[in-house]
Structure 1
Amino acid sequence: MTPHPLDELSVSNRVCKRAQYEAFEFELLDTDIRVRNASHAVPADHEYLVTIEDGLPVDCTCPADANYEHACKHRVAVAIRRPVLDFATDVQLLADGGTRPQRDDSEQAETQLNESPESDDCECGFLPDDFPCWECVRTGRRPMPTRNERDR
């Protein structure tokens, strides 16, 4: 089993929390992911490119990534949103001439039957308003809701 990308990054708790609750938008470019922080009044002034290598966000063009030892919130935001990271990795693999591994339908169906949607560490049932627990967000099983989704 491959480790979660967040386990591979050096991250402070403060940055990890901000990567969860700030309203990030993602755009896949040729080899990078553009991360836009829509929490700001002018989101276009808060766009940075995150570089992915071997399935890990390794670099960001933001000032924090250049000036601090730990991963910036943009790299962490990509790492905790597993579908974004996986898609970028797949596109890089295919662009390099690789192929996506194919599973037959019976193997996929068996895997889906054997996988429970929530692990033993899931605590979503104890949280109000269908809010996801950290384990589900960290593993990519559930996204962190946006502000608009929470206000409904």
Structure 2
Amino acid sequence: MHPLERLDVSSRVAKRAQYEAFEFSVVAEGVRVRNCSHADPSEHEYVVTVRDGLPTACTCPADERFDGGCKHRVAVAIRDPVLAAVNAKSVAADGGVASEPEHNSESSENNADESDCDCPELRGEFPCWQCVWSGERKLND
């Protein structure tokens, strides 16, 4: 069952969760939700707790004051990549799950593993991320 089906929400809250400009960050407590629809988004930042794939609580005033899920909990529930990131505790820029870089014990940490190098596939003198990260190559100015 989808998390949204398990939350008791009004249609007004569901609509706002869809159209307001939210940013999400995975934090130790769950998901930090920032509402960028406001003039000062830093004043509209709350933490949503996720338990067993369900946003169960939010630090916003509305979650305490009203019955049912607040818009922040619904915003998390309707975005599968955000829920997946909470489970994985990290997310890639494209919304997928990021993986930790593997270090080859046979080579030093500063040398890129040749199988990870994508430099030959790139145009010009632009290095791949693995080579920049490992210090093998530098970005041109």
- What band does the TM-score fall into relative to the shorter chain? 0.5 to 0.7
In the other structure, the counterpart of 2:136 is none
Q: Once superposed, which parts of structure 1, at least 4 consecutive aligned residues long, lie more than 2 Å away? A: none
1:73 offset after TM fit, Å? 0.1
C-alpha offsets along residues 16-48 of structure 1, whole Å, 9 cap, x if unaligned?
000000000001111311000000000000000
Higher helix share: 1
Could you say what the CA RMSD is over the residues aligned between the two structures, in angstroms? 1.2
In the other structure, the counterpart of 1:27 is 25
In the other structure, the counterpart of 2:54 is 56
C-alpha offsets along residues 72-129 of structure 1, whole Å, 9 cap, x if unaligned?
000000000011011102339xxxxxxxxxxxxxxxxxxxxxxxxxxxxxxxxxxxxx
Number of equivalent positions: 90
In the other structure, the counterpart of 1:78 is 76
In the other structure, the counterpart of 1:43 is 41
Q: TM-score, normalised by structure 1?
A: 0.58
Structure 1: gaps of 5 or more residues: 93-152
Q: TM-score, normalised by structure 2?
A: 0.62
% identity of equivalent residues: 60
Question: 1 or 2 for the larger relative contact order (CA 8 Å, sep ≥6)?
Answer: 1
1:113-152 matched pairs, under 5 angstroms: none
Is it true that 1:87 corresponds to 2:73 in the alignment? no
Larger Rg belongs to: 2
Partner residue of 2:4 out of 6, 14, 20: 6
Letter matched to residue 53 of structure 1: R
